[in-house]
Structure 1
């Protein structure tokens, strides 16, 4: 009898999907999908199992999901889950996809570093995790100098107000991930980076991967009275306004960066003197004012920044059994080398003038 494999996937904001199966001659066999989801009619569960049975165990999640969808009759209702969610559970059963608890996680507490070094560390540590030389890691940033970190694909002249940059002595750096500009003064925001293997988000859409990777921070915020949610694709908000945004970068060696900045006590008047936030940027945000669009966590929680950081780290550690870690001398040296060679150069900053 073939060995039974087991995979589980909890849909963000939805239900648990469980798949038990075997593999015979490279094909899925004895497939049994279960969970606390809702499905009408009941017989559609048999259709899902049948659609998966006999498929190659090497198929990517997208093709598994497509086979499930094609095998379901018209009018079937999946509530609290999806064909994609089933596909992720299948990939986890096959050990092609991983869950949080399949990894040993490290946490690096905030360390004051130049902004360019923080940006370079994102590239270095993502490579290290992808190569298997470092455990998947959550790292919180800290910095002293006022900075703007622009997204990988943003134009310098379109994003920055030169007069404001000069007036406030802003250090401008370009990061490796996409997304929008970050206005960062000492203590005005909470910034963290997750370095992880791409297997953790195997089968998830880009949109779902953002929600999935930040589920822990949503729980941390909820426990201090902040009901946060994602506004597609990458904005984090409450009913009071936007509190942050996320960005990602996937490397060819299998490593992945997920980066988040949340406003803690931002000076919105100064921000709009430094950043060019045009009408088109705000056109789908439900507001005409960039200053009104951002609502800081300090006002919403009443907690000190250190208290919030400690609470976030404790939540992550409790959920994923993460251990305290530190940047190594070699990692810091490599980051500083890359500042000199790349992140601190005009060529990198102005690659999109």
Structure 2
């Protein structure tokens, strides 16, 4: 089978997904085109133009199936490259613009409409979580209701009817502990592993940590993740107050070092206000961490009830207090050698999800 795979905004999670997909099916012949994850507005709207002129010879080859990420302007690309018009297409949705808490001023509806058109142009649509699908469908429905006229019936239903849920799988190495387990003699260790941006709600993390510090608890925290030139000021404000408890701080560049850090931690905490699957948390759980996640977004699909705390998205102070209460209980149980085991997430591995991926792709050929 000849497959054209397009990743129009090849961010880390998109890259690992398409690399895993290619590696999972070496018997198929893959042609992969990617564009770098920068200049978001231009990339989302301009990828069809970029590829149609720069990669026309590649795009006009014969393919059995076309697979594209939802950032790909598929409807325009099929129009600009007629050879693709009749190739069965699957669009994979890692996220959606309708549920993204965009802080930029002057946001337009164009990224939302472009993604809607891409899904309408596909023969099959795959979302990584039910939360992603429902928030997309609800957002698209609400947007179309705002349009002044000539909105046809059945647009959202068309997408829903050809969609399914299939998470981004976890690679095998996350489940390979290689004899490394969390130290039961050292301090209670928490890891918070997210991009250092507002939508990950770091102020809730630090509010909870200050409460643990005030209670006199012995703990260590690793605050790791991708950093940017502009980041929430709470990171700089909180470091001096919590420096005696802080282990790793910032991006851990080496994969082996990052995996070792996860395997040697006890609890992975997330405070995210924006998440469509939560791969960073799931990687930590596969590595042996006990998760502590809010009861919102996609987390109820992947994290057990016992590992979720009440969600107060509009009340950061209250949520920090709730997080602190849960962490204090877990800290006490750790020192009593009674910390629960991490939940099983092996059903999210490539080995378990591969048959479902094969069925979806074969169904198009």
- Normalising by the residue count of structure 2, what TM-score does the alignment of the two structures yield? 0.30
The structure in which a higher percent of residues are helix is 2
- Normalising by the residue count of structure 1, what TM-score does the alignment of the two structures yield? 0.30
**Which of the pair has the greater relative contact order for Cα pairs under 8 Å at 6+ separation?**
1
